[in-house]
Structure 1
């Protein structure tokens, strides 16, 4: 995916119009329980026999039916979900990290019995007969897969003028806080569905910004894990060096619960070889209001540039809150993101072609688009449906690249990793003895405008995305009735530390109001 600075996001989904819903005024809000851990509360009720998975599933299916037509966040529901919930309820012991809890998957993630479209009509016949390993892990943890979420078509990497959240398969995802505004991409449907309380948690994917941006502008917690902590097998790819799936939830504790299920090694994905050894035994352990005491946080100056006065004021209040909770704030700078983005885009274009060709080669025989070249031709042949607002210049640039043995690719990849990793995040954290780095995640949601494309004020996603390091966004409040997020990121395998920092911040700030939806 790409933000307008050509900062990149990730991956996809398809969308059927399902429901009618949202309040048009962004400032019409209603309070919700302070820091309500929806997943944690529901899991406890299920384990105690106070709630069944079937009843919980029906509750969320009703909300999807009520609100999705207006938001177009859910592309398809799984007809097998009710049977799966009934099977769980029949168990004598209701166990698992996600015992009986309903989840949605971004529609670039394979799930048995459902089509995986990546938001494109070119994959309308991509009916999968096998779960992606991460989906198997979720089911083994007791999760009930309710369906799939819409996304930016081809994870925003089809066109430099793309509009986040639009796909030919699913239509335009809309922000529940203000439906005329963007839900950000590419995991826009996952973000909007959780924000609208159509589901308590969803899985997004990110290449650069595609979890943390939609989480931030929809008022959610979003975690992009270290590359290799979560399997990428069975996910429509952009970049094997930057792609990863991760949780999008209402609270930090809920994100930790989902990560407990997601994290782990996959023999089919060599990047995950260290996952079992590196993962925390329990990411919810140690979450404490006091976790910020003595923590040294690097405040990244350049990543707070480009925002309006209200965002800057909210961010400064958030920094003061971190300090009041015992954090030590240290001004720091990372290598200029503008110096990294050219190399990043080179890497993404090369890897998009190679990785997508490999995925398409393994699709069912019913899929006629067997390569990126086939997808480009399909788009040209169906331009009125597939390209009504923007073209496919990035896909065409990717198709024009050579192989992964090209010196241009290998040199760009090495430079990007060095600048963001060893000479960037790692060096700064070591020099100043930091526990994490902090910056605004991005600006508030912008108006949907097809001729202009996305209007992103700024982004903190690129350093961690290119380095392959973890990045957590947590809501910091509202600006003009619209959510804004604060980012915490660090070196590889530091998810547990980031979750502790994010939890302490979350518990200290005021509750974030939910969007008001018309019923």
Structure 2
């Protein structure tokens, strides 16, 4: 059974959304009204990342950007013009970040490292199961979020958010503050609108803790409910993949967007 999303268009004057606060529904409204395109969104998120990731507050929450993202966005913009109001998912054309222990196929141009130099340049032959579903729902993979190296499995005393590749991720709300949990980059980046939402993983608190410390909604699915294929593991009895977003509705859209059978109707 498919789910239908009715995104009612307001009679109020149209206004471009502030990416710091814009919901996924608001982004979809703007895309459907042709206020902007998915290419515009990718460029805008990239510009925000450029401002704060290694410059300015140097949050170090995004490890790598997808060199194919603009090309993906352009293709989706073309298909949106042809498809009209019926879209395959609420995430159609929406840029999403992935924690860097979630695999993406290597020919796309990104690494999957878990923050470790040991995996830098490794050849990943396929997307993780959750990434396949995101692509089936026509989400755009914007890039890889930083994490605590090996999702905190390397050393229990390692600072949250530190990895050999990415350096130290810090909370955006207070300089040098603890971002909490191994999904630190996903949490910090989403909290200040560097992507519409992100995927994180949890073994013991790494979805819930960074969501709480970064003013987000994080959903920890029942272990085994979301695919762990292509996710660098710690333990099969606890590992799970889940969404992190700035609102409950965005987190729900992210969860539903993992299903290729979900549809969205934009009016």
Q: TM-score range by the shorter chain?
A: 0.7 to 0.9
Structure 1 gaps of 5+ residues are: 1-31, 265-275, 283-519
Aligned pairs for 1:51-450 (under 5 A) are 51-69=36-54, 70-91=58-79, 92-93=82-83, 95=87, 96-112=89-105, 113=108, 114-262=110-258
Q: Tell me which residue corresponds to 1:346.
A: none
> Cα offset for 1:88?
0.4
Q: Deviations over 1:275-307 (max 9, x none)?
A: x9xxxx79xxxxxxxxxxxxxxxxxxxxxxxxx
Q: SS at the partner of 1:154? A: helix
Q: Is the radius of gyration larger for structure 1 or structure 2?
A: 1
Q: Deviations over 1:73-98 (max 9, x none)?
A: 00000100010000001111162220
* Higher normalized helix content (fraction of residues): 1
TM-score normalised over the length of structure 1: 0.44
**Alignment CA distance shift 1:51-1:42 (3 Å):** same
**More contact order relative to length (CA 8 Å, sep ≥ 6):** 2
Q: Partners of 2:259 and 2:31 in 1: how far apart?
A: 23
The answer as to 2:30 corresponding to 1:45 is yes
Deviation at 1:47, TM superposition (A): 2.6
Q: TM-score of the superposition, structure 2-length normalised?
A: 0.83
- Aligned residue pairs, count: 235
Unmatched 5+ stretches in structure 2: 1-16
Once the 2 structures are TM-superposed, how far is the Cα of residue 108 of structure 1 from its aligned partner?
A: 0.2
Q: Are 1:98 and 1:257, in contact at CA under 8 Å, matched by a contact in 2? A: yes
CA offset digits 1:222-260 (Å, max 9, x no partner): 111112221110000001111111111010000000000
Moved over 4 A (4+): none
Q: CA deviation at 1:122?
A: 0.8
**SS at 2:257 equivalent:** helix
Cα deviation 1:450-490 (Å, max 9, x = unaligned):
xxxxxxxxxxxxxxxxxxxxxxxxxxxxxxxxxxxxxxxxx
Q: For residues 143 and 262 of structure 1, what CA distance do their matches in structure 2 show?
A: 9
Distance 1:222 1:151 in 2: 16
Give the Å deviation of 1:124: 0.8
Q: Say whether the 8 Å CA contact 1:71–1:174 is kept in structure 2.
A: yes
